[in-house]
Structure 1
Amino acid sequence: MNKKIFIICPPNKATGGPEALHQLGHVLLLLGFDVKMLYSKYKSNPIHPFYKSYNVPYTYKITDNADNIVIIPESMTNWIARYPLSEKKIWWLSLDFYEILMNSREKKKNWIRKLFVPYKHTEYRFEPNKTITHWYQSQRVKEFLLTKKLDNEIAYLCDYVTELFFDNLPETFTKENIITYNPKKGLDKIEKYITLLPQYEWIPLSGMSREEMRNTLRKAKLHIDFGYFPGRDKIPREALVSGVCLLTGREGTAGFREDLGIPEKYKLHSNEMQTENVTELIINVMNNYEKVFNEFIDFRTFVMNEKQNMIVDVKKLFS
């Protein structure tokens, strides 16, 4: 393939989406493709420190032509109209941010722009377009895309847990009575258990370096996430690699076995989140960690192989 590949990404931003985009750039480089990050805004230092190790070159501007492939995250589909000639790949890393950010952009437009630049010319609402192909990261998005009339077949592509969590990964873990949680997700549903179960050390995964988070997870027995899963969230997968059991809700992608393939009894419907039931599950995990973690081995193995699977899938997509 002689085409040039450009991956649109916000600059200097550390969230799951930008990391996935940099991982894709890294894999494409490994496979010998001509690829660059196309940062959406100028910044003197656009590469977040977390992603410097991916070593993907970058640019701020490209010329639209049929020899380009432009990869666009679903949160930035307003960029589609800028490149009518280029081949475009929309990578759906979540479903929710597409509509949320599209509506947010429209609200921010002043009346002059709304008058002279019609909505349909700046935002993408699945208009017929043979230059667009869709990739889905989750089963949830796949089922959504199958409800649309598209010009090209959809394809699966998932990111992976960064190599940092595999560095010096022990075969067996020395665990402590630690429970981790993400304070940005579902904290209101977790706080009561922090009070009810003070015999355990509850550690919020915030304000840490990546190394500190990894080291904390390697000591923890359980990670709880009762929040919403917009995509295949990274922290639960990082926890699995680190030998941690999971207890989650079922909102968003967490409700799909293909996206979060842990045992069903550790994924709770809202009507199953009675205090007594949740407390019993937590205590059982903490008292019987080795036995319970064996129940997570199958999905952990899947997560452990995500990078190799991504390399295979990228080869197929660009063959």
Structure 2
Amino acid sequence: MTNKDIYILCPPNNATGGPEALHQLGHLLKEMGYKVKMLYSKRKMNPVHPFYQNYDVPYTFKISDSPNNIVVIPESMTNWIARYPLSEKKVWWLSLDFYEVLMNSREAKKNWIRKIVVPYKHTEYRFEKDKTVTHWNQSQRTKEFLLTKDLDNPIEYLCDYVTELFFENLPNLNDFEKENIITYNPKKGLDKIGPIINSLPQYKWVPLQGMTRVEMRDLLRKTKLHVDFGYFPGRDKIPREALVSGCCLLTGRDGTSGFKEDLGIPEQYKLHENEITVENASAKINHIMENFETVRQDFLSFREFVMGEKERMIADIKKIFR
């Protein structure tokens, strides 16, 4: 067990899948007796988002660079690596795409003067040789990307988990009171799912927006099917929450959803781009909804895998911080 001080870099007051995973890591490290703090990237009066206050991780806004530090850095903030040349850095790839997108965005904001005079500590990371940097993959897709790089240290695996809220008073699989409800994320693939919704008015379609986490959990427990034809930048949280809640899934194959290691549902419930048509998707949805009791058996194996994520994360933390 390492005696180093662990700092987890995170944007303040931000509620998305990435920050939740970072707070989960901080919570587990604290519970296991490690010296850990969240390192919020901007000073704010109340930096802890209400969703994550229950993780109860102490925080700071500034640290000194030291060989006695471990700094966990999400892939979206790799420009912070150069700030801590002496510290041990762990880059946690919670998605793949945000690395390039946000790096390019930051570079685009620099005018020619800033590009010349900007201090080294603000430079972008492009996989320069550095023995103080280790990479963690959260998905098979990211692992395959990292294996194409010439890294100084072996890649390590660490995945987050579905929060305990979704396990509170969780019914047995046969005891869920399911209704003819289909949920979807309106922020993802709405152009594809909109025409399908219009073609199937016999079902109650509910967008997952404008509700508390408890309301979302209670809705998913009544839902038969969650549809997501959008892009999966990482191992997306909502489909996993839906599985825990006894739902079936129907997805596309963009991003990590195309990898069986990352979304291990049967292949017939993942549609290729040319298969996401009103006729084909409607037929799939009708089959699932009309044969729900039988079809949900197809999802049991991956549901069990998802339900064991927290225990595996604890085991992986022990390996990483040995």
TM-score range, shorter chain: over 0.9
Q: Please state how far the C-alpha of 1:274 moved relative to its aligned partner.
A: 2.9
Q: Please state how far the C-alpha of 1:289 moved relative to its aligned partner.
A: 0.7
Alignment of 1:258-297 (within 5 A): 258-297=261-300
Match of 2:227 in 1: 224
Code of the aligned partner of 1:287: E
Q: Distance in 2 between matches of 1:279 and 1:102?
A: 39
- 1:265-308, Cα deviation, whole Å (9 max, x unpaired): 00000122232221111011111111000000000000000001
Code of the aligned partner of 1:181: Y
Instruction: Extract unaligned runs of 5+ from structure 1.
Output: none
Match of 2:74 in 1: 73
Match of 1:100 in 2: 101
From 159, 179, 188, the counterpart of 1:176: 179
Code of the aligned partner of 1:12: N
Q: Please state how far the C-alpha of 1:193 moved relative to its aligned partner.
A: 1.6
Count of equivalent residues: 319
Deviating 4+ runs (over 2 angstroms): 117-121
Alignment of 1:307-318 (within 5 A): 307-318=310-321
Alignment of 1:29-108 (within 5 A): 29-108=30-109
Alignment of 1:170-249 (within 5 A): 170-171=171-172, 172-249=175-252
| Identical-residue share of aligned pairs (%) | 73
Code of the aligned partner of 1:136: N
Q: Distance in 2 between matches of 1:31 and 1:115?
A: 45
SS of match in other structure, 2:6:
strand
From 256, 259, 263, the counterpart of 1:256: 259
Q: Please state how far the C-alpha of 1:67 moved relative to its aligned partner.
A: 0.2
- 1:97-130, Cα deviation, whole Å (9 max, x unpaired): 0000001011112332111137896100000000
Code of the aligned partner of 1:198: P
Match of 1:147 in 2: 148
SS of match in other structure, 1:51:
helix
- When residues 62 and 216 of structure 1 are mapped into structure 2, their CA distance, relative to the original with a 3 A threshold, is same
SS of match in other structure, 1:106:
helix
SS of match in other structure, 1:97:
helix
Q: Please state how far the C-alpha of 1:9 moved relative to its aligned partner.
A: 0.1
Q: Distance in 1 between matches of 2:289 and 2:156?
A: 40
2:83–2:121 CA contact under 8 A, matched in 1: no
